[in-house]
Amino acid sequence: MDINFTGINNIISETNQKISEKLGQESKSYLKNVSLTMNLNDVENKDLFEFKQALQNSTNYCRKKCLNKKQPDKLNIYCENITEIENKNKESYSSFDVNGTTLLLDEDGVLPIFTYIAKLTKKISQNTNLPDNDRKAAEFINNKIQEEAARYFDMNA
């Protein structure tokens, strides 16, 4: 999929981080929330069409819940990541919301929407015409999708 940036506009990113330590232990927790909001349209590369196509190929739940009915061109991708480091062991888990609906990568039926978001965030992260904060937010989401996909495929191999 090739994304034309005349087909995506009004990108807004927001990142929040929090670090907590357990007293008397070698343990830290990192919480990072990243949100990307944009408008898709069908100029040239049909970004909105491809988003809707990914939803159509996903589960009923995705089709019903992940499309903003009032503003179907609006796409909000939210990622929350928790990384815990305890005694040199590191565990990281992410959750994702698409237009306010939480999606877990726990079944094949959600793969089309995760694949679309991975491709979209990769393209955004590589577009040097966009502000660094938007590119970094997209790169973070893309990396977390890749981590969750690897975990999903390892568990289902």
Report the domain count for the chain: 1
CA 4 → CA 13, 56, 119, 151, distances in Å? Answer: 19, 22, 12, 31
Amino acid (1-letter code) at residue 142: N
The answer to whether position 3 is within a domain reads no
The answer to whether position 92 is within a domain reads yes
How high is the pLDDT of residue 8? Answer: 60
CA 78 → CA 6, 101, 155, distances in Å? Answer: 22, 9, 24
Closest C-alpha among 25, 37, 50 to residue 119: 50
Q: pLDDT tens digits for 107-130? A: 899 999 999 999 999 989 998 888
Rounded to an integer, the average pLDDT of 70-85 is: 91
Q: What pLDDT band is residue 24 in, cutting at 50, 70 and 90?
A: low
The answer to whether position 2 is within a domain reads no
The answer to whether position 13 is within a domain reads yes
The answer to whether position 119 is within a domain reads yes
How high is the pLDDT of residue 45? Answer: 64
Using the structure block, give the residue that is written with the tokens 């590191």: 90
Provide the domain limits for residue 107. 8-152
Q: Is the pLDDT reported for residue 5 higher than 70?
A: no
How high is the pLDDT of residue 3? Answer: 41
Question: In this predicted model, which residue has the larger pLDDT, 6 or 115?
Answer: 115
The answer to whether position 86 is within a domain reads yes
Average pLDDT for the chain: 85
Q: Is the pLDDT reported for residue 4 higher than 80?
A: no
Q: Is the pLDDT reported for residue 2 higher than 70?
A: no
The answer to whether position 18 is within a domain reads yes
The answer to whether position 1 is within a domain reads no
